[in-house]
Homo-oligomer: A and B are copies of this chain.
Amino acid sequence: MPIVQIDWVEGRSIEQKRELAEKVTTAVVEAAKCPPEAVTIIIRDQPKTNIAKAGTLMSDKK
């Protein structure tokens, strides 16, 4: 604990995932006053066909 689950659109590079992991961990550590070792992050890559906003799939957006 804390455990962080992040859903975003697939296609991000390994560098972006590395940056996400580092920066989100730092942010959580500062707010939660916990050691970095306590923070686990799960990144969930989602295809645009599997996300909808206002009833429209992201893959259908123009």
Contact residues of A with B, CB < 8 Å? 1-9, 12, 14, 16-28, 30-33, 35-37, 39-46, 49-60
Whether the pair B1, A8 counts as a contact (CB closer than 8 A) is yes
B50 touches A17 (CB 8 A): yes
Q: Is the CB of B9 within 8 A of A36?
A: no
Taking CB atoms, residues of chain B closer than 8 Å to A5 are: 4-6
The 26 sampled A-B contact pairs (Cβ below 8 Å) are A1-B9, A1-B58, A2-B6, A2-B8, A3-B6, A3-B7, A4-B24, A5-B6, A7-B42, A18-B57, A18-B60, A21-B55, A21-B57, A22-B56, A24-B24, A26-B27, A26-B55, A27-B27, A36-B55, A39-B53, A40-B53, A42-B51, A43-B49, A43-B50, A43-B52, A44-B50
